[in-house]
Amino acid sequence: MSEFVEQWGRYETQWEGPRGGNPFCDVSLQAEFSYGNRVVPVAGFYDGEGVYTLRFMPDRVGKWRYVTHSDVPALDGRRGEFTCIPASGGNHGPVVVRDTHHFSYADGTPYVQIGTTCYAWVHQGDALEEQTLQSLRAAPFNKLRMCVFPKDYLYNRNEPFLYPFERDERGVWDFTRFHPPFFRHLEQRVGQLLELGIEADIILFHPYDRWGFATMGSEADDRYLRYVVSRLAAYRNVWWSMANEYDLMRDKTVGDWDRFFQIVQETDPYGHLRSIHNCRQFYDHGKPWVTHASIQSSDVHRVPEWRTLYRKPVVLDECQYEGNIERHWGNISAREMVHRFWQGTVGGGYVGHGETYLHPQDILWWSKGGVLHGESPSRIAFLRRLLEEGPCGGLEPMGPWGARQGEAFFLYYWGVHQPAEWTLDLPEAKRYAGEVIDTWEMTRTPLPHPVSGKCTMRLPGKPGMALLLRTIG
């Protein structure tokens, strides 16, 4: 009797196998999943205690079959099948690049990226992690940047309760032996984000380290990448980020980062989105294995320039943080955060939120999660609603003040400027209903009558105003 799995869901099967030696290195397990004449190779992994696991994300409805290949007879030649049924509910598949500069889900549903950052939230223990999930449930964010490795940095000095590797009898990390309970916990949290409709932007490396995970050496790095991808790739909400602030990891070369991208690309049979995040020096986002530009910069006005340069979606995953800490990157106002979201949007790109308010127990959202304290999330939610009400397709910039989606949807935003009137040059053959928007007060004031062609609009003459126009014929 065949098992049933939703399209873009997860099929999983396990077998008992060797426990002796080092199964992480000594045992090879792969499978070929077939649909008609199509064959998809998938790597299995050792999950500890003699258990070997295969996971697979089917992308087509119908009958799938598989056969395993292994250097261990007990795992070689295993066969099975399941039936993939249509996706249901909010399952739209993984996010993919669409129309060069934008995103959609695999089924064609538009995806408007409204992200946030909680670097080390999965290292904080159940109580705080569950509080973070509760906060996300009420927040506007549909992507979360998060690290695999724990973090050692300002406001981040606590030890994690689980580690990704085993230690030997001397307390020295054994980078050839993964710690499956750590990865099961990581998978649990990724799965919970999936249930909330949130993409998990998995950061594979970062420089803020006191355990030696940032300097393991190339052989250990490559083994780690293959193991992580074999465990997580079947989750449809996964994105891969090679690093947070890759250019601060001085012992790794550009060639290393190229190799990491290629390993992930070759090991992930589903082609999840791939990026890398900078501190000061940009990686070449034009390289073929990069799917979108993940940028740290406060120069949000440069989004159109980067779109033209890379011809890929541009995501300002870090444009600084709303907060009040001493560091300059962590004390912009909520109004400035909201402004940067709007500026990036009319530039044809996407912006990421972050929050760094001082806390007596050093529980800052940007790293540990917990509770959101700032005033920007509700205004960001307001922007998301406006964008999702619009027509299918992302916005294309038209000068410094506006963006459009064909001739059906226009959005103007003036930021800190406060014009009392503005001349529009719209298509003569169409009529547009409009709304004057206060991006901070979250108000929408309809225009008294439709507009078309060249016309001059009266505006409130205050900062933070926008104008939204939709065609009505």
| CATH number for the domain that contains residue 69 | 2.60.40.10
397 in a domain, yes or no? Answer: no
Distance CA 375, CA 372 (A): 9
Closest CA to 419 of 433, 404, 400, 394: 400
Q: Is residue 293 part of a domain?
A: yes
Predicted local confidence at residue 393, as pLDDT: 80
- Residue 120 sits in the same domain as residue 230: yes
Low-confidence ranges of the chain (pLDDT < 50): 1
Same domain, 107 and 212: yes
Question: What is the CA 470 to chain-centroid distance, rounded?
Answer: 30
What whole-number distance in Å separates Cα of residue 309 and Cα of residue 312? Answer: 8
Token pair in block for residue 422: 């503005």
User: Among residues 35, 63, 85, which one ends one of the domains?
Assistant: 85
User: In this structure, are residues 81 and 2 in contact, taking their beta carbons and an 8 Å threshold?
Assistant: yes
CB 463 within 8 A of CB 415: yes
Do 302 and 380 lie in one domain? The reply is yes
Does residue 395 lie in a domain region? no
Are 380 and 354 members of one domain? yes
Contacts of residue 20, Cβ cutoff 8 Å, sequence gap at least 6 = none
Whether 303 is covered by a domain: the verdict is yes
User: Do 382 and 415 lie in a common domain?
Assistant: no
CA–CA separation, 14 and 33 (whole Å): 15
Residue 402 lies in a domain: no
One domain, residues 165 and 190:
yes
Phi, psi angles (nearest 5°) of residue 136: -65, -30
User: 386-423 as b/e, with b when 16 or more CB fall inside 10 Å?
Assistant: bbeebeeebbbbeeebbbbbeeebbbbbbbeeebeebe
Q: Give the three-state DSSP class for 136.
A: helix
- Give a yes or no: residue 152 inside a domain: yes
- Contact call for residues 186 and 148 (beta carbons, < 8 A): yes
Instruction: Please count the helices (runs of H) and the strands (runs of E) in the chain.
Output: 9, 30
Q: Which domain holds residue 453?
A: 407-471
CA neighbor of 354 nearest in space, from 335, 370, 377:
377
Residues 99 and 169 in one domain: yes
> Does residue 195 sit in the same domain as residue 294?
yes
User: Taking phi first (over 0 means left), then psi (-120 to 50 degrees means alpha), and beta for anything else, what does residue 340 get?
Assistant: alpha
- Looking at residue 2, its pLDDT comes to 64
| Count of positions (residues) in the chain | 473
Torsion angles phi and psi, residue 366, rounded to 5: -60, -25
Residue bearing tokens 């005033």: 375
Bridge partners, 32 (sequence order): 41, 67
Residues 416 and 329 in one domain: no
Tell me the sheet residues that pair with 102: 98
- End of a domain among 389, 421, 439? 389
Indicate the SS3 state at residue 7.
coil
- Among 32, 67, 85, identify where a domain stops: 85
Is 400 inside a domain boundary? Answer: no
C-alpha dihedral (160, 203, 193, 370), degrees to nearest 10? 50
Q: What H or E segment, with its residue span, contains residue 305?
A: helix 303-310
Report the CATH number at residue 142. Answer: 3.20.20.80
Q: Tokens 């099967």 — which residue?
A: 13
Task: Quote the number of domains for the chain.
Answer: 3
pLDDT given at position 1: 47
Sequence-ordered strand ranges (E) for 338-464: 350-353, 355-356, 396-397, 402-405, 409-413, 421-425, 432-438, 443-446, 454-458
pLDDT digits (tens, 9 = 90+) for 433-446: 999 999 999 999 99
Number of other CB atoms surrounding residue 32 within 10 Å? 13
363 token code pair: 């529980």
Please state whether the predicted TM-score (pTM) of the whole model is above 0.95: yes
Quick check: is 371 in a domain? Answer: yes
Spatial contact of 203 and 214, defined as CB atoms under 8 Å apart? no
Tokens of 177: 């032996």
- Cβ-contact 5, 46 below 8 angstroms: no
Q: Do 56 and 144 sit in the same domain of this protein? A: no
User: Please, which residues have CB within 8 angstroms of residue 438's CB and are 6 or more apart in sequence?
Assistant: 445, 460, 462, 464, 465
Is the same domain home to 187 and 261?
yes
343: its two tokens: 């500026």
Alpha carbon 332 to its chain's center:
23
Predicted local distance difference test score (pLDDT) of residue 59: 98
Query: Please, is 37 exposed, middle or buried when counting C-beta atoms within 10 Å of its C-beta (0-12, 13-18, 19+)?
Result: exposed
In single-letter form, the type of residue at position 122 comes to V
The CATH code of the domain that includes 449 is 2.60.40.3950
Indicate whether 20 and 153 sit together in one domain: no
- Return the pLDDT at 281: 97
